[in-house]
Amino acid sequence: MTTIQHISFEDLKSKYQTPLYIYDEAAIRKQCKVFINKFRHPKVSSNVIYASKAFLTIAMAQLIMSEGLHLDCVSQGELYTALKAGFPVEKIVLHGNNKTKDELLMALNFRVGTIIVDNDYEASILNEIVNDKYKVSVMLRVNPGIDAHTHKYIKTSTLDSKFGMSILDPRTKDTIKSLNDNPNINFLGTHSHIGSQILEEHSFYDHAITILKFYKEIKELYQIDLKAVNLGGGFGVKYIKSDTRLDLNKVLPELLEIVYQTANSLEISVPHVYIEPGRSIVAEAGYTLYTVNQIKETINKKKYLFIDGAMNDHMRTALYQAKYDAFIVGKEDMVHDTTYTVAGKACESGDIIIEDILLPDAKPDDLLVVRTTGAYHYSMASHYNRLTIPPVIFVKDGQSKVVVRKESFMDLLSHDEALV
């Protein structure tokens, strides 16, 4: 692979320098269409919401808007980005645990489509500040207690998770009733998300069944037939060759069929179903282009391949011990017989991009492309060591476009104030 969307990596380096975040715009749009077209059922209404924390810029919000997806935001910053992009407010979902009163007021003032309430305390704040000028749609985040097989930092539905309220906690049902009884709230149902990077399809099905059984309990207790269910995201992607790829063409329609069958068997209304893919839309469309600076061999014969980036633009390996694949541009057909640890320039022992990868013999000034960096790379980027954050470009049909410009040193200092 020496080109992306008919543009050579060498040309991209020449034009934009490195490090460089590259997104294949056509690949993002293709994945959006997979979700829109496959998450359908003749007897179940549904919508797809893009989880913007995976990657959000003004351009990305506009792309998502053009593909017909809804958008979830987990902070005032993400909400402001969406608004500046012209995203329809009725299609915006405000997420996040620990929302402040100011965040809730901002959502109400801009009349966002739906607010996901995280807990009973947050529900009490919202119950106090809503008014009859605008009846906001609300869902409550709950935890079904399903232990998805993924990294502990991205498990989000265990009973002691920081997110949501357990379906086993009596306070959860009380909170649902209080929200449903508020005349200024249109209470839709619950939101739940069992974790990220899930590759076992049965986890999604078990999740849906568990939540609908909880809906049955709510109906029997309060005679409330909940109108909608948000089953979150978590659809895993292929990072390295040994990963299995989740078959979305199978999982998405099957998930709706299970919702339909389960609701009927429980004698509850078939709810409107939302899902929230993020990583699965952008991860495999993203690449990070680096230049090899130095090769170093230790006394124990460990070989380091030092690139011009660092953990500030590639945090997931240090944070999650995530694994990645990479290639040296122009050397893909050469024998891969040298084991390198790809490391960055940050003053940190944990600044590892890829641990022990087989590559061809590398030289300074080679171009290294790390695959599947479209999710949680730019969005997690930092200024650690006062390193600047790389620019972001979209490529499509032989054209490239800057969607986040390269930071300058002046940008880096733009918020600093001198002592004297």
Query: Catalytic residue at 347?
Result: yes
Q: What angle, rounded to 10 degrees, do the helices at 76-84 and 101-110 form?
A: 20
Marked catalytic residue, from 244, 333, 347, 419: 347
User: Which candidate, 212, 315, 318, places its Cα nearest to that of 268?
Assistant: 212
Cis bond upstream, residue 183 (ω within 30): no
3-state secondary structure at position 341: strand
Query: Could you tell me the two tokens for 165?
Result: 């309220």
User: Which candidate, 143, 160, 120, 269, places its Cα nearest to that of 211?
Assistant: 143
Query: Could you tell me the two tokens for 80?
Result: 């402001």
User: Which candidate, 315, 299, 317, 296, places its Cα nearest to that of 307?
Assistant: 296
User: Which candidate, 357, 362, 347, 154, places its Cα nearest to that of 241?
Assistant: 357
37 membership: H or E segment, kind and range: helix 25-38
348 is in an annotated binding site: yes
Q: What secondary structure does DSSP assign to 255-314, as a single string?
A: HHHHHHHHHHHHT----EEEE--SHHHHGGGEEEEEEEEEEEE-TT--EEEEES--TTT-
- 388 Cβ contact list (under 8 Å, min separation 6): 406, 407, 408, 409, 411, 412
CA dihedral 49, 50, 54, 59 (to 10 degrees): -150
Task: Tell me the H-state helices in 149-296.
Answer: 170-181, 201-222, 248-266, 279-282
Residue pair 390/381 in contact (Cβ under 8 Å)? The answer is yes
234 is in an annotated binding site: yes
278 is in an annotated binding site: yes
Residue pair 387/398 in contact (Cβ under 8 Å)? The answer is no
320 is in an annotated binding site: yes
Backbone φ and ψ for 167, nearest 5 degrees, come out as -70, -10
276 is in an annotated binding site: yes
277 is in an annotated binding site: yes
Residue pair 255/230 in contact (Cβ under 8 Å)? The answer is no
316 is in an annotated binding site: yes
Alpha-carbon distance of 418 to 420, in angstroms, equals 5
Paired sense of beta strands 114-117 and 136-143, if any: parallel
The binding site consists of 234, 276-279, 316, 320, 348, 376
The binding site for pyridoxal 5'-phosphate consists of 234, 276-279, 376
The binding site for substrate consists of 279, 316, 320, 348, 376
Active-site residues: which are they?
347
